Amino acid sequence: MNNTIRKKILDAVTATDNQSPFISPTQLADALSVADFAVLPPVENYKKLLPEERLDLQLLCEEITQKETPCYVGSSVDDIVAYVVNHVHPGDVLLVMSNGGFGGIHNKLLIGLAQ
């Protein structure tokens, strides 16, 4: 891999990730810590979950940061787009992981990056 290409991971965390039998929050932090930075969006339907079922994004972000990867918890899609647009450089590669439309983030990123 060309070391001049910086990796960026933008992760869409779902409300059920804290309950997943497939990946724990620690494993999620390990996976995201290989990026140049990680961005976590707010969890949808957060208030519909019991407190013990909720993924603690601040704690997850702290765990990622302890692994020497900058992490940011966005408050909205527009907030995330603004953050990413201000932290990428020409030649960077963005990976957007989502199990849905993610508030139109793909198109919003393309528009933001073109400006």
Domain locations along the chain: 7-114
Mean pLDDT of 18-32: 75
**Model pTM?**
0.77
The per-residue pLDDT of the chain, averaged, comes to 81
Mean pLDDT of 82-102: 85
Give the model's confidence band at 53: pLDDT under 50 very low, under 70 low, under 90 confident, else very high.
Answer: confident
Per the CB < 8 A criterion, the answer to whether 93 and 8 are in contact is: yes
Q: What is the pLDDT of residue 97?
A: 79
CATH of 7-114, one of 1.10.10.10, 1.20.1110.10, 3.90.190.20, 3.30.300.30: 3.90.190.20
Q: What is the pLDDT of residue 83?
A: 93
- Using alpha carbons, list the distances in angstroms from residue 92 to 9, 31, 69, 84: 11, 19, 16, 11
